[in-house]
Amino acid sequence: MKTNNKKVLIADDDPDFLTFMEVNTKLMGFEVHAVTSQKEAEEQLTLFKPDLAIFDLMMENKDSGFILSHKLKKLYPDVPVIIATAVTAETGLVFGLNSPGERSWIKADRYIDKSLRPDQLQKEINSLMK
């Protein structure tokens, strides 16, 4: 997959996970725009169209990732969105994109757990960027 000049917007308030995502997406050849809040991500969406977006679920709000996904898809319906979260590990709640009902309100294309490995991240991104 050729990623030269492809931009990814990553929003996460966990500095360790943000660094992990930034380093690994750069290694895949993306130009990375990393921010630490929903507010900053919304500002970035007014400045450029990403080729891929990866949003933490819970930042300033418990549903920041869902809000960002909705706003991005309204502006750029063709941009793939990944929601990354540790909410399942922390609360036991499981989100999915398996039913039409879930897909209708969760505007993300993938949902990943934050405990993923770099090779899993690359596999998810590759499947979305075909």
**Mean per-residue pLDDT of the chain:** 84
Would you call 88 exposed, middle or buried from its count of C-beta atoms within 10 A (0-12, 13-18, 19+)?
A: middle
Q: How far is CA 74 from the centre of its chain?
A: 16
Please give the CATH architecture assigned to the domain spanning 7-128: 3-Layer(aba) Sandwich (3.40)
Q: Between 47 and 98, whose confidence is greater?
A: 47
Return d(Cα 111, Cα 91) in angstroms, integer: 16
Q: How many C-beta neighbours within 10 Å does residue 80 have?
A: 22
Share of the chain above pLDDT 70, in %: 81
Q: Between 30 and 98, whose confidence is greater?
A: 30
- Global pTM value: 0.84
DSSP 53-122: EEEES-SSSTTHHHHHHHHHHHH-TTS-EEEEE-HHHHH-----S-SHHHHHH---SEEEETT--HHHHH
At 103 the pLDDT is 45
**Domain map of the chain by residue range?**
7-128
At 105 the pLDDT is 46
Three-point CA angle 19, 49, 116, nearest 5°:
30
At 86 the pLDDT is 76
At 125 the pLDDT is 92
List pLDDT tens digits, range 80-118. 999 988 754 444 555 554 555 544 445 678 878 888 899
Q: What average pLDDT does the segment 9-28 reach?
A: 95
What DSSP element (H or E) covers 15? helix 15-27
